[in-house]
Chain A
């Protein structure tokens, strides 16, 4: 049981390039989230999804896009990368609001934009 798997672990992008951070979960959780963590800061919510086909913006969605075509996958797309998007990105899942509130995090993806 892998839990929440994020790829890649590390990536360096040039300004203006695009890329997709992949997130896959095998826990059959309905809710999925993307957070970013800047040095010395807490976790800021980028986008989240309450189920396949449904996505919504978090606190800091600008410059990002997501899709949720399946329960398992929740990719995060960066278009026209900017230095301000240098950060650590965490994908997370939650079963639902009825049976449990525990959020499970992936190991993180370190992104540097130069």
Chain B
């Protein structure tokens, strides 16, 4: 089955600086890679996703890059703000015929004012 590794487990960044979280996956058949943000006491919420036919996707201050050859993908947050403080999870899954999403172990991001 799929195995997703996520690094780092904790990350502290000065407000206004950029944050990068990296994930690797094992199953070359995986083709959908979402990122979730989990605030304290809440369920995870999708913030951005990327499919395997795309190398990069941006949405305002967040972006995700995918390298299918190396089987890794990254989340980039620019101009970080205090409200970006949360736990971030990457995940990977196949599309057709694969109903299960495999999650990384999470990164606790702290933005220092």
Contact = CB atoms under 8 A, between A and B. Distances in A.
A and B co-occur in one complex = yes
Interface of A: 4, 31, 33, 35, 40-43, 45, 48, 50, 58, 90, 92, 94, 97-98, 101-108
A101 B34 contact: yes
A45 B98 CA distance: 14
Q: Is the interface of B mostly helix, strand, loop or mixed?
A: loop
Interface residues of B, number: 26
Nearest to A31: B99
Q: Is the interface of A mostly helix, strand, loop or mixed?
A: strand
B81 interface: no
Contacts of A43: 44, 89, 103
29 contacts: A4-B43, A40-B9, A40-B105, A42-B4, A42-B89, A42-B103, A42-B104, A42-B105, A48-B99, A48-B100, A50-B99, A58-B100, A90-B44, A92-B43, A94-B99, A97-B95, A97-B98, A97-B99, A101-B32, A101-B34, A101-B49, A101-B95, A102-B34, A102-B46, A102-B49, A103-B101, A104-B46, A105-B45, A108-B41
Contacts of A58: 100
Interface of B: 4, 6, 9, 32, 34, 36, 41-46, 49, 89, 93, 95-101, 103-106
Q: Sorted from nearest, which 6 A-B pairs have the closest CB atoms?
A: A105-B43, A42-B103, A42-B105, A43-B103, A101-B32, A105-B44
